[in-house]
């Protein structure tokens, strides 16, 4: 089946909307895009399924293949992502850890150990604070200062001892437009200053944030860079910048919430600048080779949410600057759990157009779906959150099914 099945056509792809506009300081790179992929199916590329980009070979070898999958890419191929060897293509998508004082404790150790034992190739940590100022928001992991390093090292060593990779997901929360969040946090911390691109009151969740200033924006870039370097020192296999789900970075890409009239708002390039400059700061801190991933929303599901053409343009620019992978997400909370894969059309389009690897997350539940994604698109990696919350050993079960060549549907959450 041709990969175009999953390929959508988007008006505004390669948007260059800023030229000639009121913002002379628009990104100079022009969003022209890097080499689009032209081959229809990866089966022809042989074992390993390395993406044909920039001479980069990403296949140190392959693991088992089930019957019926000979010659194509499979979920259990070993691949290289930057400097990291990943034992299979399956990521545990980020699920926030409840921890004390930002430290991975016994519960995190048990969970990550079980996920690694359960076969996940790579574990994305729960969202992890980069700035101590947000410490009161939620009891989640932190990489905001050096005191946490030893605890993170222990977590990484445990995961590595079980053969999996682990990537730290970095977040700057901002005003996070979620009703539940505001109900939980605002009464507890009424003095908390919430920051957002334009300080717009949100009538639905009741948040009244303040517009983030220029120096505070630079602090966001710097804090991400410092946390990324800590993650590298702790032994993580990479970092993921969280630019999805209504957290601060993603709000910059939502025209309804970003009404800024400076270089961070007003046109696609400007709206993308927050994510791009954060990436640049992180890359400068961690150096070449260390995997950097960005999680983006490709669909927000509300008027004035992100524009897919803009997101595609951002992904192109990031890929040209060395981003290793994009994880595609969106308004997953609004979608029926088992109606996925949710963002397949957009993920396939990014994978076809952009040289960074694509991790498809949201609604993946069965081996059949995974095989279809790998055979019909250029998506490289498969992310799952809820199926592994229900059963941390789900990946091993998929592997058994794969090796038996019985791709007849899984039993995920
Ligand atoms: C309880 C829970 C916690 C989550 N925490 C995070 C998080 O920390 N960071 C993040 O990017 N996504 C988070 N997500 C979203 C997942 O990573 C994923 O994008 C979403 O659940 C869709 O994938 P799924 O259908 O495989 O569950 C969370 C999801 C759930 C259910």
Confidence of residue 58 (pLDDT cuts 50, 70, 90): very low
Residue of higher predicted confidence among 11 and 144 = 144
- Which tens digit of pLDDT belongs to each residue from 344-401? 999 999 999 999 999 999 999 999 999 999 999 999 999 999 999 999 999 999 999 9
What DSSP designation does 249 have? H
In a domain, 17, yes or no: no
Check: CB of residue 123 under 8 Å from CB of residue 166: yes
In a domain, 364, yes or no: yes
3-class secondary-structure state, position 298? strand
Q: With a cut of 90, say whether residue 39 has pLDDT above it.
A: no
Ligand 1 centroid to Cα of residue 375, in Å, is 25
In a domain, 82, yes or no: yes
- Which tens digit of pLDDT belongs to each residue from 257-274? 999 999 999 999 999 999
pLDDT at 379: 98
Q: Is the CB of 250 under 6 A from ligand 1?
A: no
Structurally, the chain folds into a number of domains equal to 1
Helices (H), 186-238: 214-234
Q: Is the CB of 363 under 6 A from ligand 1?
A: yes
Q: Which residues make beta-bridge pairs with 196?
A: 211
Q: Which residues make beta-bridge pairs with 296?
A: 243, 328
- Which tens digit of pLDDT belongs to each residue from 275-287? 999 999 999 999 9
In a domain, 254, yes or no: yes
Tell me the mean pLDDT in the region 178-190. 73
In a domain, 16, yes or no: no
In a domain, 235, yes or no: yes
3-class secondary-structure state, position 384? strand
Angle between helices 394-403 and 367-376 (to 10 degrees): 70
Q: Which ligand 1 atom lies nearest to the CA of residue 388?
A: 26
Q: With a cut of 70, say whether residue 137 has pLDDT above it.
A: yes
pLDDT at 44: 24
Rounded Cα gap, residues 80 and 86, in angstroms: 6
Residue numbers of the domain that contains 329: 58-403
In a domain, 371, yes or no: yes
What number of other Cβ atoms are within 10 A of residue 22's Cβ?
9
Look up residue 6 and give its two tokens: 């999953």
Question: C-alpha dihedral over 130, 212, 209, 304, to 10 degrees?
Answer: -100
- Which tens digit of pLDDT belongs to each residue from 320-349? 999 999 999 999 989 998 887 999 999 999
Q: Is the CB of 181 under 6 A from ligand 1?
A: no
Q: Is the CB of 92 under 6 A from ligand 1?
A: no
CATH number, domain with residue 343: 3.20.20.70
Check: CB of residue 222 under 8 Å from CB of residue 130: no
Take atom 4 of ligand 1 and give the residue whose Cα is closest: 95
pTM of the predicted protein model: 0.85
Closest CA to 367 of 338, 392, 395: 395
Q: Which residues make beta-bridge pairs with 291?
A: none
Q: Is the CB of 127 under 6 A from ligand 1?
A: yes
Residue 321 CB-density burial (10 A; 0-12 exposed, 13-18 middle, 19+ buried): middle
Angstrom distances, CA of residue 361 to CA of 172, 180, 296: 21, 23, 11
Ligand 1 centroid to Cα of residue 197, in Å, is 23
Residue of higher predicted confidence among 275 and 184 = 275
In a domain, 44, yes or no: no
Take atom 10 of ligand 1 and give the residue whose Cα is closest: 94
pLDDT at 406: 59
Confidence of residue 188 (pLDDT cuts 50, 70, 90): confident
């Amino acid at each position: 089946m041709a990969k175009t099945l999953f390929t959508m056509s988007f008006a505004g792809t390669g948007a260059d909307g800023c030229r000639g506009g009121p913002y002379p300081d628009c990104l100079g790179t022009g969003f022209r895009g890097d080499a689009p992929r032209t081959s229809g199916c990866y089966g022809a590329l042989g074992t390993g399924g390395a993406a044909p980009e920039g001479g980069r070979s990403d296949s140190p070898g392959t693991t088992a293949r089930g019957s019926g999958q000979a010659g194509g890419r499979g979920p259990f191929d070993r691949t290289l992502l930057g400097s990291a060897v990943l034992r299979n293509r399956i990521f545990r998508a980020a699920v926030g850890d409840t921890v004390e004082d930002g430290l991975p404790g016994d519960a995190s150790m048990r969970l990550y150990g079980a996920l690694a034992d359960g076969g996940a190739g790579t574990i994305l940590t729960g969202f992890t604070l980069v700035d101590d100022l947000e410490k009161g928001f939620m009891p989640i992991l932190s990489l905001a200062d050096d005191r946490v390093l030893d605890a993170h090292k222990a977590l990484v060593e445990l995961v590595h001892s079980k053969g999996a990779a682990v990537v730290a997901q970095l977040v700057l929360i901002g005003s996070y437009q979620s009703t539940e969040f505001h109900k939980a946090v605002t009464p507890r911390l009424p003095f908390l200053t919430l920051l957002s691109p334009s300080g717009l009151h949100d009538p639905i969740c009741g948040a009244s944030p303040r517009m983030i200033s220029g120096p505070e924006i630079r602090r966001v870039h710097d804090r991400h860079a410092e946390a990324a370097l800590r993650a590298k020192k702790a032994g993580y296999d990479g970092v993921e910048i969280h630019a999805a789900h209504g957290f601060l970075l993603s709000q910059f890409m939502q025209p309804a919430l970003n009404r800024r009239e400076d270089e961070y708002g007003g046109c696609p390039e400007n709206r993308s600048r927050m994510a791009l400059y954060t990436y640049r700061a992180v890359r400068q801190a961690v150096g070449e080779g260390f995997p950097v991933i960005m999680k983006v929303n490709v669909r927000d599901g509300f008027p004035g949410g992100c524009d897919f053409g803009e997101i595609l343009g951002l992904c192109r620019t990031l890929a040209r600057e060395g981003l290793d992978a994009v994880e595609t997400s969106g308004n997953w909370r609004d979608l029926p759990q088992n109606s996925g894969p949710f963002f397949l059309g957009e993920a396939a389009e990014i994978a076809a157009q952009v040289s960074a690897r694509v991790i498809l997350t949201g609604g993946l539940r069965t081996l059949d779906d995974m095989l279809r994604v790998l055979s019909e698109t250029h998506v490289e990696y498969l992310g799952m959150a809820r199926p592994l919350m229900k059963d941390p050993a789900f990946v091993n079960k998929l592997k058994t099914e794969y090796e038996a060549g019985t791709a007849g549907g899984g039993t995920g959450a």
